[in-house]
Each structure stands twice: as C-alpha cells, then as structure tokens.
Structure 1
Amino acid sequence: MSAAIQRNKLFTASCLALLVTSLSFGIRAGILDTLGVQFHLNASELGTIAATAFWGFPLAIIIGGFIVDIIGMKRLLMGAFIFHFAGILLTIFATGYWTLFLSTLLIGIANGTVEAACNPLVASLFTDNKTTKLNHFHLWFPAGIVIGTLVVFFLNKLGVNWQIEVGVMLIPTVIYGYLFSRLQFPVTERVAAGVSTGDMYAALLNPLFFFMIICMFATAITELYTNQWTDVLFKTVTDNALLILTFVASVQVLGRAFAGPVVHRLAPQGVLLISAILSALGIYLLIHLQGAGIYAAAVIFGLGVAFFWPCMIGFVAENLPKTGAVGLNLMGGAGMFGVSIYMMFMGGYYDRILASNLPAGANIDLYRSAPAGSEMARAFDAARSAAGPEMLHTTMFLPMALIVAFGGLVLYMRGRKKTEVLKPAL
C-alpha cells in the first residue's frame, strides 16, 4: 500500500472515529429531555450526567497525551473502540441515574481517547497544512451532531424509542474499530522531528501556551455548552428546538470544510477574533429573536463557533510545535474540563431559576411531569421561558471576553512576526 493511500485511509478512519464522538453529543442532546422524563431526573441531575462525558474526555485526552508516544496511536484508538462499544451498550440498557452516569463516563473516555490519538495523528500526516486539515478533520464533529439530531428528530416522529436512536452509533463504531485494527501508524510529529521529552515539557511552560489554555476554557464552553443544552433551553421557544442545533452544526460543517482560504488569509488568531465577535452576536440574537428569526441567529452563532476548536488546536500545532501531542491534548482536555464544570454549575443554576419562577415550595419534578395543557404545565413552561434567556445571558459574557483576548493575540502575533523579520538585519 502506497504512503498516500495509507495516509488517506488513516485520515478517513480518524474522521469516522470523530463521527462517533459527535454522534454521542448530538443524540444525547436530542434525548436529554426524554431521559429526564423517563427516569424522573431534574435539571441538576441531567446536567451532571451530560457533564460526565466532559469529565471522561479530559481524563482520557490528558492521560492519552502523556502516553501516546509510549504505547503508540494505534493502541490508544483500539482502546477508544472498546470504551465506545461498552458505553453505547450500557446506555441502551440503562435503568436509571447511575447506569446513565457510568455509560456517559465510558463514552466520554472513548471520546477523549479519540482526540488524544487523532489530533497528533492528523498533525503528523499533514505537517505542511496542519490547521486546514485539522479543520477538515474536526468538521466531522458538527457533521455527527447534524446526523445525530436528524436521527433523533425523524425517529421521534416515527415513534421509535430512544434506545434504537442510541444504537445507531454502533454502526460507525464497528467500522472505525475494524479499519484502525488493520492500518499501520506513523510516529508523532514531535518524535519524528527529534524533539526530546525534556524540550517538550519546557515548551509547555511558555506563557503563550498558558494563555491559549485559558482561552480554550471559554471557546469550548461557548460552543459545547450551548449546543448540548439546546433542546432544554429552547423547548418553549419552538416546537422543533433540536433543529436549532442542526442549523448551528450545519453551518459549522460548511465553515470547516472551506476553512483553508480563510485560515491562510487571516491566520488562526485572526479567525479566532472574528469567531468570538460572531459567537457573542449569535448568542445575543438567540436570546432576543423569536419565530423564524431564531434560525438566522443560529446561523450566525454557528459561524462563530465553527472555527474555535480546530483553530485553537491548529494555533498551538503551528506556533508551539515543541509541545507535541501533550500540548495538543492538554488544550482539548482543558476545553472539556471547563465545559464539565460549567455544565454542572449551570444545571443547578437552571433549577434555581425554575424554582424562583414557580410557587414557593413547589416540587419541580411534579411540574415537569404535569399533563400537557394543565395549569401546572403552563406554569412550568413559563418558568422555562424565563430560565433559557437567563442561562444564555450568563454564557454570552465568555465570547465577549474572548473578543478582548483574541484582539490582544492578533496584536501580539503581528508584533512577533515583525521582530522575526527584523532579526536577520540586526
């Protein structure tokens, strides 16, 4: 098998593995409210379950980042296959809070392991075009969300139970596991370049790397928290709340597919600044627009978050290459860790807002499960209508802060480039 064919097959298998990762987000987002009703879970419990995927992710991606050069990318990805397969089956046969908690944790570990191996794999396969190819790779995350939400939407219309919806993920899982088991892997770019482990750890102490880690918290929360809670936050705004997520993810797919010219013209830091501006504007419009206008807001928000994750990873790969696989995976781990903490906090915050808009001492679970059209159901819908915008208002401050941060990054990188140009003349 030629090197080019081998490289393309590895890239295709990587995209399939990421597809399973994103299907787990899209399908879980689509059934989150259903799980709450069936297993009598409040928003705080749902938030903890959803956050568990984001705990497992940083745990796996950070550990994976430290051991990928030791055990190899292939072994990591076969481990991801096992965790995905087990987590999906356990979700299908879940009986309540704790089985959902454990199954989501297993899937989160699998998702993190995929990123731990595939980010350095893509960077190693395409050393001359890292950020663009990372965008192409990461377009399969929103693509999977589009596929997952549409699967939930149409199967719900057909009256199919949620277990079958979850079972759809087994198909690409088995395929990527088979492909990776038969392919040969290169060493990571850092190993190929001869950068020592000591130099790698020294590079992690660069202040610019710390700055990017902090920004990763905010970019990941802006994208993933809003997407994961779409069905809950917009349930009273539209009968098809999940389609808002589909709109957002569809725009992300298109943005990442055509990222090459944008990245080459503006550089990762320029793209990140524009992304922060559009994200803040998109959330503002999601709060204030109603009816069909909310889908236009979803398009703007989707354009904003389209480039966040791959350009954050790409910036580090291009400008801090000595950080190696550990640097890339610490970035991903930081993002998911930030989302997990934020999601737990906001789940409890959401319950408190609901309680404040219901009669004093009201049992939220009783109101949540009240028959449609009843006085309790109408009161609960009114409370949810007040809670959704409040949650989004709080989240909007993150991309607003990123506008300042990335504006500073653009100026810093411009100054550094001028310094590098002048050095030979000095």
Structure 2
Amino acid sequence: MTTTLSDQPIAPNAKRLLWAGFMAILAAGVGFAIRNGINAAWSQEFGFTNLQKGLIGGAGFSGFCFGIIIGGVIVDRIGYGKLIISAFLFHVLSAVVTLMPNGGMEQQTAFLLLFTGTFIFSLANGTLEAVANPLVATLFPNNRTHYLNILHASWPLGMILGALITLAVGNQWSWKAQLGLYLLPTVIYGFMFMGQKFPRSDASASGLSLGEMMKEVGILGASVAGFLLYLFTRDAVGENILAGLTNSDFFTGDSWNYISMAVGAGFVLWVAVITKFAIGHWLLFVLFIAHAILGSLELGTDSWIENINGTILTPELGKILFIFACAIMFGLRFCSHWIEDKLKLSPIAILFSCSLFAIAGLYLAAGATGVTAAFGAMFIYSIGKTFFWPTMLAVVGDRFPRTGAVAMSIMGGIGMLSVGQLGGPGLGYAKDRFTAEHMEESGYGEVLQANKAEKPSSWMGFAEVTALDGKKLEEAKHLKKEDRTAEQQAMVESEIAGSRKTLRHDAILPIGMAVIYLLLLIYFKATGGYKALRITPEEASGGVKGPAGF
C-alpha cells in the first residue's frame, strides 16, 4: 500500500543536515580523485604494478564496506553524532598512516602502509555514508530519488576538486602535500554536523528490532555480502597484508582460505540467527547482486578511467576528461526529479536507461583515437553512470521501509566491497594481462622479460601474467615519442592496446545490469507498477507481514 505524504521535509534543520552530508561525501570524492592523480607518482617512487595500484585503490572501497555496514547496523542504537565523531578520528588517523611511506622504504612496506592508510580513509567515508544515506531518505520520504541524487552530487564535485588539485600542482607539490588537502573538507563537515538534532528512521521510530529490520535481507541478502567478505579476508587481508608482514605462506594457503570462508559464513549465520532463519526477500537479493556489479562498473572504472584515458591520449588529457565526466555527473544529479516528473520514468526505468548509455560509452571510449571522440565517449558514459548509485539507494528506501538504515547500508557496503575485491584489482589485472599479451603477440616478448615487475599479476584464480615494471613504464610514458628508445615505445604502444581491450571487457558489466533492470521493469509492469511503500501501524506492531515480505 502507499501513503500520501507532504513534499516538505520532516525536520526544520533538514537542509542543514542534507548539506552537511553533502560536504562529508565531497571529502571522500576529493581524497579519491587525488589518489587517482598520484598513483603514477607511486609507481615512479615504489615501482608498483597496475595490480598493486589497483589493490591500493580497492582498499579505498573495501574499508568503506565495513564502515557503512557496521554503522548501518548500529546507527539507530547509538545515534548519528557518535558515528560522525568516529569518522572524523578515522580520517585523521588515515592521514598519519598514508603519509608515512618514503622512497627509501622497501616496496612491500610502502605498499602495506598505503594500503592500510587508504583502508582507514575509506572506513571513515563508509561510516559517514551510514549516517548520510538513511538520514536523507528519512528527512525527505516522498522525494528520495531526488534528494539522494543531490546528496551524491557531492561525489563528482569532490572528484572535480581533487582532479583540479593534481592538475594544477601535480608537478610542483609532492604527492603527500596533495593528499593532505582532503582534510580541509573533513574539518568543514565536522562543523556543519556539530550540535544538530537528528531524526530517527521509520523502522527505528516504529520500534522494530534489529532482527525484524534484517528479515527482508535474510539469508539470501547476507550471502552476497558474505561472499565478498570471504574474498576480502582471503585476498586483501591474507595475501596482501598478513603474508607481506610475516613472510609466511600460511596466509596464502588452504588453511587461511578455510578461515576466510568461516568469516563470510559467520556473517550469514549471524543474520540467520537474529532473523530466526528468514530467507529474505528475492527482490532485495537481486538488487544486492545488481549493486555488486554496479560498484565494480561505476567506481572500479572511475578508479582507472583517468589512467586509461591518459594512456590512450596524454596524462593531462586524461585528467581533463575525468573532470569533464565528473562535471556532467554533478549537473545531472540535480535533474533526477525532472526526469521522474517530466519524462515519467520510474527509478527502475532510469536504471535501465543508464545501463544502455554506459554500454555505449565504454565501447566508444575503447575505440577513441582523438580528443573529440574521447570527449564524446565520456559524455555518453557519464550520462549512464550518473544515476546508478543514488537511485539504487532510493529503490531500497522506497520498497523496503522496514529495513531502516540496515539494508541501505549493506547494499552500499556490497557495492564498495565489489570495487575493492573485483572492480579495482580486476581492471588492474586486466590492464597488466592485455598489455603483456599484446607484447607477446607483437614480438616484444624479450622486451617484456627485460622490463618485468618484481611480482607477476594474479587475480581471482585467473592465469598469472608477467607485468611491466611500473617505474620503467612511467618513465617511458613521460618522454616524447621521438625521445623514446625502441623498447620504451614498445611498452607504451602495448599499454595503449591493453587499455583499449580493458575498456571493451569492462562493458560486459553494464550489459549484465541492463538484463537485470529489464527483468525488473517487466516484473513491476506485471504487478501494477512501481510504488513507494510505507510502514503501517499494524506492521510496526508486528501484527502483519510488510508489503515487501517474502
């Protein structure tokens, strides 16, 4: 059933809280873009492979998962204020850890510090979003898609500011000086949240317990998060942190794999117990799957698109294209209300349309050979990715009000874990692999062997490949074509070919999303259309099963 609501927010300080959340996510976007812009400097200083850079970038999302899931579970119990203080402290700690590496360190030590500092930074960001998403959904219950898109317009704006910083001062400032600038918006959001009174979610206000909120997530939904937690524990924690710290094979062997399985299964078991073994709603399970793909597409691609465009064209044009794409996202996220009202598109129809734009944009970007074609491809791709994340959050808020902040936070965590374990490292591995394959096929095998990285690239059971040394590759890319040796030119040409092939394979993700959203469109058409649902007094008292029940 649906309930007619006022278009007005439910609290007098709603706009203040909206813009405080806006600034918090902006800080995350600034840090993300600056990291994208300085990863070439990390390659030059420490000799990282594309896979290693992808793993560090992935940590910028994996930690987010823990912050948003844990925060989403406890936010209605401890209040928004305590979570905001925790996030602020995590942001300060992340700066201390991330700025510790120096050129005299061993590569593995530098990698571990950058990985850990990036993880803590993303933990802070996730904790903040555990506050911002349910808060805005609660403050504007009849306009969730519109206001959640406004909230998340701060992400591309933050990326624009971060990219402009690296473009303006990248050659004059050290990477440490650039990265430290994300603390400025951090201080601002702290002041904006200070002293504010926060509302409670519908589920919390209705007196629903955590177990009742989690019933629609159930075993099905928890299994998606549990699988990604398994991958995180096995790969990020075991292989890339503990194995490096201890030089032990234990963390890369079968025993650690079983421990990692126990971590993922333990989360599923915990959800099963507190929900009295509820299966969960099939629609929420499908949305979780779609969001895992979405995270790898949108944020995984974002973490590499500047690098890939910079490889195909020039590093400076790569930054400009990245800023251009973010500017389109920023502007369009203020237009979702118009799209719903004037074009009469439901949130699911918006998501399906976005998938088609993303497919076309990635294929066009892979084939772009000039500046005009590259800008056209990024324009189309940016239209596609603009509405994905906030609109998915709005769908969960609309269709599953009984879950409170929990389902929204778990879905956000799934998207971020997917980037950290699948999207970021996967695209880095793909770039290493396709570059190496092109070198072998073009007769540059000896060049590859003479310029190979310390460690080969391997990911998710795919074949181990020889990767180019990051220092040598960056040195070659920064030389003019006429100044390169034959070996250096072979490396640069091969990475361009590898980048193009990576983008073409990346387009598989929005194809899968388009299929899912098309099936959901058919489902809602057959069941009377998409409607936002509300908790009735009977549901709040536990007398009847909610309208979205399984």
TM-score by length of 1: 0.93
- Asked if 1:255 corresponds to 2:332, the answer is yes
Distance 1:176 1:419, change over 3 A: closer
Q: 1:328-367 alignment to 2 at 5 Å?
A: 328-342=408-422, 343-356=424-437, 357=439, 358-360=444-446, 361-362=449-450, 363=452, 364-365=468-469, 367=472
Distance 1:34 1:401, change over 3 A: same
1:401 to 509, 512, 518: 512
> Match for 2:75: what amino acid?
V
> Match for 1:273: what amino acid?
F
Q: 1:70-149 alignment to 2 at 5 Å?
A: 70-95=77-102, 96-149=110-163
1:212 to 287, 296, 310: 287
Partner of 2:83: helix, strand, or coil? helix
Residue 59 (structure 2) aligns with:
52
Distance 1:353 1:82, change over 3 A: same
1:186 to 179, 183, 199: 199
8 Å CA contact 1:89, 1:167 repeated in 2: no
- Worse-superposed segment, 210-219 or 341-350: 341-350
- Asked if 1:246 corresponds to 2:316, the answer is no
- Worse-superposed segment, 352-361 or 204-213: 352-361
> Match for 1:286: what amino acid?
A
Q: 1:165-176 alignment to 2 at 5 Å?
A: 165-176=178-189
Cα deviation, residue 68, structure 1: 1.0
Identity %: 30
Report the structure, 1 or 2, having the larger helix content: 1
> Match for 2:472: what amino acid?
Y
State how far apart, in whole Å, the 2-side matches of 1:419 and 1:66 are: 27
Cα deviation, residue 407, structure 1: 0.9
Q: 1:20-59 alignment to 2 at 5 Å?
A: 20-59=27-66
> Match for 1:261: what amino acid?
W
8 Å CA contact 1:83, 1:110 repeated in 2: yes
1:357-400 CA deviation, whole Å, 9 max, x = no partner? 14242322263254523323212111111110111111101101
1:65-92 CA deviation, whole Å, 9 max, x = no partner? 1111111111111111111122134323
1:35-63 CA deviation, whole Å, 9 max, x = no partner? 11122211111111111111101111111
Distance 1:367 1:164, change over 3 A: closer
State how far apart, in whole Å, the 1-side matches of 2:154 and 2:22 are: 6
8 Å CA contact 2:20, 2:192 repeated in 1: yes
8 Å CA contact 2:358, 2:383 repeated in 1: yes
- Asked if 1:306 corresponds to 2:320, the answer is no
State how far apart, in whole Å, the 1-side matches of 2:35 and 2:472 are: 23
State how far apart, in whole Å, the 1-side matches of 2:513 and 2:474 are: 39
Residue 460 (structure 2) aligns with:
none
> Match for 2:73: what amino acid?
F
How many residues align structurally?
418
Residue 473 (structure 2) aligns with:
368
- Asked if 1:288 corresponds to 2:331, the answer is no
Partner of 1:417: helix, strand, or coil? coil
Cα deviation, residue 345, structure 1: 3.0
Cα deviation, residue 227, structure 1: 1.1
Cα deviation, residue 307, structure 1: 0.1
> Match for 2:388: what amino acid?
F
1:320-357 CA deviation, whole Å, 9 max, x = no partner? 21121111011101111111122223323322333331
State how far apart, in whole Å, the 1-side matches of 2:20 and 2:65 are: 22
Cα deviation, residue 196, structure 1: 4.0
CA RMSD, 1 decimal: 1.9
Cα deviation, residue 419, structure 1: 11
Cα deviation, residue 174, structure 1: 0.9
Cα deviation, residue 263, structure 1: 2.9
Distance 1:419 1:316, change over 3 A: closer
Residue 525 (structure 2) aligns with:
414
Q: Name structure 2 gaps, 5 residues minimum.
A: 1-8, 103-109, 218-279, 453-467, 532-550
Cα deviation, residue 235, structure 1: 2.4
Q: Name structure 1 gaps, 5 residues minimum.
A: 421-426
> Match for 1:141: what amino acid?
W
1:131-173 CA deviation, whole Å, 9 max, x = no partner? 111000011011111111111111125x222222112211111
State how far apart, in whole Å, the 1-side matches of 2:96 and 2:160 are: 22
